[in-house]
Amino acid sequence: MKKHHYTLWIVGLVIAIVVVVGGAFLFKKSSAQSSSGKTIEIATAGTIFPNAYKQNGKLTGYDVQVAEAAAKAEGYKVKFTVTDFDGIFGQIDAGRADTVANDIGATPERKQKYIFSTPYNRETTNIAVKSNAKYQQLRDLEGKTVATSGAGNNFIASLKKYDSKIKIKVYETRDQAIQALITGRVNGLLYSRATLSAIIKHQSLKWRVVRGNASSTDVAYPFKDDQKGKQLRNTFNKGLKKIRENGMLNKISNKYFGYDITKVISK
């Protein structure tokens, strides 16, 4: 009889161990699946330096690295989808992407449809000139010619609205516009302050950005205006706050632009 009880006790112990170990395995598996599910899908055109572009076949840039850092701060991973810019917001609309990392201005028109994170950059319309040029501010370039690229870029319209007396020569590519200033065929280069600063830093050019902005728009991550979008926007905002406070945001900014981004977005 004792032997029978002993056998039952052993069987019960084995069953208990199996249940505990099995439960732990299932919990671990479930936790791993939950963790791996914390991924934010991000769309980008991946063609705009220094914000989102490919270097040695790998996607990088200011907007890309800020998104990765903000997501990581909240325990998320990011998955990028490269697509044409014309259809980039359609990725959000169709649910194929949660947000966009592509120097997106939080314009009043876009705010009617999407909700935006806190700003992590500011898109301004500026002009760079050679360091030894006499021009100190935008209006000093009245009657002069500045180069830019892309007939439909926002900087052209902004500068014309700000001061129509500054002439604009539009080149097919950014490299052609840069070369125009290098060789003296134009008096300045028209883009955003961030882009101009990145070009100057990257190519070690003896240029400077003159004072004054022809326009200014906050750059932020857009999300779909629904429950999931609001939750992810809040997650991103928390992450952006953390990397701003721990200095990571400025570290990334200095890497690409050579200046303290918090001074720019705090204005």
Confidence of residue 7 (pLDDT cuts 50, 70, 90): low
Rounded average pLDDT over 107-120: 96
Tokens 């989102």, residue? 52
Q: Which residues of 241-264 are buried (b: 16+ CB within 10 A; e: fewer)?
A: ebbbeeebbbebbeebbeeebeeb
Confidence of residue 10 (pLDDT cuts 50, 70, 90): low
Burial class (CB in 10 A: 0-12, 13-18, 19+), 57: exposed
Q: What does the pLDDT read at residue 266?
A: 80
Q: What does the pLDDT read at residue 54?
A: 94
Tokens 């069987």, residue? 11
Q: What does the pLDDT read at residue 86?
A: 86
**Each residue of 145-186: pLDDT tens digit?**
999 998 767 899 999 999 999 999 999 999 999 999 999 999
Give the amino acid at 98. Answer: D
Better-predicted residue by pLDDT, 5 or 37: 37
**Each residue of 132-150: pLDDT tens digit?**
999 999 999 999 999 999 8
User: Does the pLDDT of residue 18 top 80, yes or no?
Assistant: no
Q: How far apart are alpha carbons 152 and 149 in whole angstroms? A: 9
Domains of the chain: 39-120+220-259 (3.40.190.10), 123-216 (3.40.190.10)
**Each residue of 57-96: pLDDT tens digit?**
999 999 999 999 999 999 999 999 999 988 999 999 999 9
Q: How far apart are alpha carbons 190 and 232 in whole angstroms? A: 35
User: Does the pLDDT of residue 34 top 70, yes or no?
Assistant: no
The answer for residues whose C-beta is within 8 angstroms of residue 227's C-beta and 6 or more apart is none
Q: From the CB of residue 92, how many other CB atoms can be counted at a distance below 10 Å? A: 22
Residue from 255, 265, 251 nearest 219 by CA: 265
Q: How far apart are alpha carbons 161 and 214 in whole angstroms? A: 8
User: Does the pLDDT of residue 194 top 80, yes or no?
Assistant: yes
**Each residue of 206-250: pLDDT tens digit?**
999 999 999 999 999 999 999 999 999 999 999 999 999 999 999
Better-predicted residue by pLDDT, 92 or 6: 92
User: Does the pLDDT of residue 14 top 90, yes or no?
Assistant: no
